[in-house]
Amino acid sequence: MYKMTRKNIIIILISMICMACGAQSLDRAKKMYSEGKYAEVKPVFEKLVKQSPSNSSYNQWYGVCCYETGDYVNAEKYLMTANKRNIIASYLYLAKMYSEQYRFDESAEMYAGYIEQLRKKKEDTSEYETLMEKARNLHRMQEKAEDVQVIDSIVVFKNDMLDAYRLSDESGSLMMYSDFFKNENDLFSTVYVNQKGDKAYYARPANGLFTVGTVSKMHDASWGDEKTLLPDSKADNNYPFVLSDGVTMYFASKGYGSIGGYDIFVTRYNTANNSFLAPEQMGMPFNSTANDYMMVIDEAKGLGWFVTDRNQPEDKVCVYLFIPDPSRKRIDIEAFKSDEIRRRALLASIQDTWRDGAKGYAELIKKAHAESEEKAAENKQDFIFVVNDKTVCYNMDDIKSHEAKELYSGYLSLYKQIGVLRKKLDDIRFQFTKGNASTREQLKPTILHAENQLYSLMTKAAEQEKKARNAENRNIK
């Protein structure tokens, strides 16, 4: 009797110790989970869920760890187990995961379930109603995905994305904002110059937002007559490109119903009232829940490019090459399974879009990378210094007069100062628009002083360029 009792006591004590240790381990795991250390705590919950497969909390915690570490297959399996037991957080995580997988219809259903649970608890549902409606809109957009042929892709550093574009002479030219305006700021924006070389389109900050604008080549070969396009936008607009008709403009915007970051839009100039028509959002796969921009179509080559950062590291983007279709034909949803439609809309593989096989696109891809001699020469230009109707200098070696070289070097130095001052003035103006009455009063003299400085520098620069031109012309004569 005594031995039996002692044995039982020992068993009970060991059990209590194990339970206490297990409770402490679970508490530590839950703490790490709450701190977002999903990868570290994932093995703990995996062990627990194997020990107790029907435990809804273990399934929920392990499913979230799988989701946060990119293991979507297991995430769905365990979150669905928790969902069947009405664990409220499972609805939200499944909704987010389905949205990332372009399963928007299922995402909307999960948001609906989450909203229902919140209403039972009398909590605010407005945020999730917006997300549910967005998922439904994305599902409708997915079913209208365009049947585009994407024939090539290249991953590049974001700052080098324009290296992937090879436009024909008939389609104009592209360059970075800092190269065109000759300044050294870190503004990430592009400039498109039309075929004639007399009009440039770009975007730069104005009142805190990127705004699309245009300048024209003046009679003295300088750029002026700046005009703002799409002035009523309440979001960033950037990366403009205009077709050879001079009317159709592609650009990227974070407004106008964008589905995620920058989306690609197209608009047309209405000559009747000198304004652009309401922008039209491009469909999938051109647009995604990531940033999509820099749509360029070379009508002479019959090819187009666009950029996306979907599924890319922070410093890289993917540039896609495609065959433009003016009819913008949609995918026949009756001919494909839902998973195939998702893949096409997501652009999971460019091979899904091919009709002629890789060999059928070989010549087009070769044409896309071909660069004309004229363009190759332009890419070596340091600047464009128009001396007279017959003489244009593109680098210092082209300028023959020693005096003109010195004068033009001074002009370039002033131009850089102008760029820096313009950026500074834009920043101060932004502070002015966002500030209260006291802040505005303090900034007024600063803005006035900067504007006077800018005017003085621009006057000096114009005079310096004129002196350089006169010196080179004297040398020619």
Per-residue model confidence as pLDDT tens for the chain (477 residues)? 444 565 555 455 444 444 444 445 778 888 889 899 999 999 999 999 999 999 999 999 999 999 999 899 999 999 999 999 999 999 999 999 999 999 999 999 999 999 999 999 999 999 999 999 999 999 999 999 999 999 999 999 998 999 999 999 899 999 999 888 887 667 889 999 999 999 999 998 888 899 999 999 887 778 888 899 987 788 999 999 999 999 999 999 999 999 989 999 999 988 777 788 999 999 999 999 999 999 999 999 999 999 999 988 888 999 999 999 989 999 988 888 888 899 999 998 999 999 866 667 888 888 898 865 555 555 567 888 888 877 888 889 899 999 999 999 999 999 888 888 887 877 787 677 667 778 888 888 888 888 888 889 889 988 999 999 999 999 887
Is the peptide bond prior to 285 cis by the omega test (within 30 degrees of 0)? yes
CA distances from residue 192 to 167, 170, 253, 389 in whole angstroms, order as listed: 11, 13, 16, 24
**Per-residue confidence (pLDDT) for residue 21, from 0 to 100:** 45
Among 418, 452, 412, 432, CA closest to 185: 418
Label residue 323 exposed, middle or buried (CB < 10 Å: 0-12, 13-18, 19+).
Answer: middle
Q: How confident is the model at residue 16, as a pLDDT?
A: 46
Q: What is the pLDDT of residue 2?
A: 47
Backbone angles phi, psi at 229, to 5 degrees: -105, 150
pLDDT of residue 377: 55
Nearest to 243 by CA among 319, 181, 322, 167: 167
Integer Cα distance of 310 and 187 in angstroms: 22
In sign, the C-alpha dihedral spanning 178, 410, 456, 420 is: positive
Tell me, what amino acid is at 441? Answer: E
Q: Which residues contact 44 (CB under 8 A, 6 or more apart)?
A: 25, 29
Which residues neighbour 342 within 8 Å (Cβ) at sequence distance 6 or greater? 101, 102, 103, 142, 348
What are the structure tokens assigned to 266, written together? 């197209």
- Whole-number pLDDT of residue 110: 97
Label residue 268 exposed, middle or buried (CB < 10 Å: 0-12, 13-18, 19+): middle
In this predicted structure, what is the pLDDT of residue 378? 54
Rounded to whole angstroms, the Cα distance separating 97 from 147 reads 26
Tokens standing for 41?
A: 């705590």
Nearest in space to 318 (alpha carbons), one of 343, 345, 349, 339:
349
Cβ–Cβ under 8 Å, residues 178 and 309 = no
Looking at residue 48, its pLDDT comes to 92
* pTM for this entry: 0.70
Phi/psi at 183 (nearest 5 deg)?
Answer: -130, 170
DSSP state letter for 269: E
Read off the tokens for 328: 């913008």
C-alpha torsion 248→253→259→261, nearest 10: 140
For residue 368, CA distances in Å to 147, 191, 303 come to 20, 20, 7
Note the Cα 261 to chain centre separation in Å.
6
Cα 25 to Cα 9: distance, rounded to the nearest angstrom: 24
Confirm if 291 and 260 have CB atoms less than 8 A apart.
yes
Compute the Cα dihedral for 42, 45, 47, 53 and give only its sign: negative
How many other CB atoms are there within 10 angstroms of residue 247's CB atom? 14
One-letter amino acid for residue 87 of the chain? I
pLDDT of residue 372: 54
Residue 34 host element (H or E): helix 2-34
Q: What is the pLDDT of residue 403?
A: 93
**Helices 88-100 and 56-68: crossing angle, nearest 10°?**
30
Cα atoms in the 13 Å half-sphere on the side-chain side of 2 = 0
Q: What are phi and psi of 294, to 5 degrees?
A: 55, 50
